[in-house]
């Protein structure tokens, strides 16, 4: 069985996919980590993301692999080097949509993404899973949430476990909101495999729902499809 979870930044895709994967014993595929790895590698090697053919060549050359669980997250490696933290910096956030809009980069990611699902159950999350990568997925979920709520969750996630002044949090929410709205616009407006809800996807708005509530909705949908 393949479950596709698509949606904009901070809508809860990774968290929900992780929870569903754990409960059902599925493998989790984080396709965003792959585009982040390409953007990081280009930045590290001084390759301009505006140079479409050099970036596409880079995407074909690097080997992206996933490791075992690390604090609930799967580790990500580029040519054997652990990049799990390096792919989540603000610099990569700002550059990843440019890498992901490159059709040559997307073509290079498609094969490994499809191979990942060979022979086992997978929950895959990203932007084009239900539309392009696995259009035959048995269950497609399009996860959304109000942009300000997504920004708030991102900021709270960043400061998890630490005491931070409310005014600092407020300022960060404003900045994060601007950042995710810019990235969502780039991801939605690109020509190749834009962020869009597949016709046969179930839309879930998580703005006023907890993670547990969303996971139980998905559990019901899985039971129905099975």
Of 4-12, 45-53, 67-75, 114-122, the segment contacting ligand CDP by CB under 6 A is: 4-12
Q: Are 225 and 4 in contact (CB under 8 A)?
A: no
Q: Is 91 exposed, middle or buried (0-12, 13-18, 19+ CB in 10 A)?
A: exposed
14 marked ligand binding residue = yes
User: Within 10 A of 146 (CB to CB), how many other CB atoms are there?
Assistant: 13
Question: Is 35 among the residues that bind ligand CDP (CB under 6 A)?
Answer: yes
Phi, psi at 124, each rounded to 5°: -115, 135
Integer Cα distance of 45 and 199 in angstroms: 39
15 marked ligand binding residue = yes
Selected from 2, 64, 117, 126, the binder of ligand CDP by CB under 6 A is: 126
Selected from 94, 148, 182, 209, the binder of ligand CDP by CB under 6 A is: 209
For ligand CDP, give the closer residue by CB, 31 or 55: 31
Residue 121 three-state SS: coil
Question: Is 13 among the residues that bind ligand CDP (CB under 6 A)?
Answer: yes
In the window 141-200, what residues touch ligand CDP (CB under 6 A)? 153-154, 157, 183, 187
Identify the helix (H) or strand (E) that includes residue 204.
Answer: strand 202-205
9 marked ligand binding residue = yes
140 marked ligand binding residue = no
User: Within 10 A of 123 (CB to CB), how many other CB atoms are there?
Assistant: 30
Task: Give the interface with ligand CDP as residue ranges (CB under 6 A).
Answer: 7, 9-15, 31-32, 35-36, 96-97, 100, 126-129, 153-154, 157, 183, 187, 206, 209-211, 214
Annotated binding site: 7-15
């Amino acid at each position: 069985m393949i479950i596709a979870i698509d949606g904009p930044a901070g809508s809860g895709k990774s968290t929900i996919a992780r929870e569903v994967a754990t409960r059902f014993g599925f493998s989790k595929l984080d396709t965003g980590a792959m585009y982040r790895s390409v953007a990081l590698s280009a930045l590290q090697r001084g390759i301009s993301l505006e140079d479409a053919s050099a970036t596409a060549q880079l995407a074909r050359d690097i080997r992206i692999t996933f490791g075992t669980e690390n604090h609930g997250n799967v580790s990500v490696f580029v040519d054997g080097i652990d990049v799990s933290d390096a792919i989540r910096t603000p610099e990569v956030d700002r550059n990843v949509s440019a890498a992901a809009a490159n059709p040559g980069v997307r073509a290079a990611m498609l094969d490994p993404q499809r191979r990942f699902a060979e022979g086992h159950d997978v929950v895959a999350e990203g932007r084009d899973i239900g539309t392009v990568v696995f259009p035959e997925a048995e269950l497609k979920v399009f996860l959304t949430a109000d942009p300000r709520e997504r920004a708030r969750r991102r900021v709270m996630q960043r400061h998890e476990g630490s005491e931070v002044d409310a005014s600092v949090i407020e300022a960060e929410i404003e900045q994060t909101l601007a950042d995710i709205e810019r990235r969502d616009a780039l991801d939605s407006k690109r020509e190749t495999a834009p962020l869009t809800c597949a016709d046969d996807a179930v839309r879930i708005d998580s703005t006023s729902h907890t993670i547990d509530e969303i996971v139980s909705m998905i559990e019901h949908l899985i039971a129905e499809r099975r």
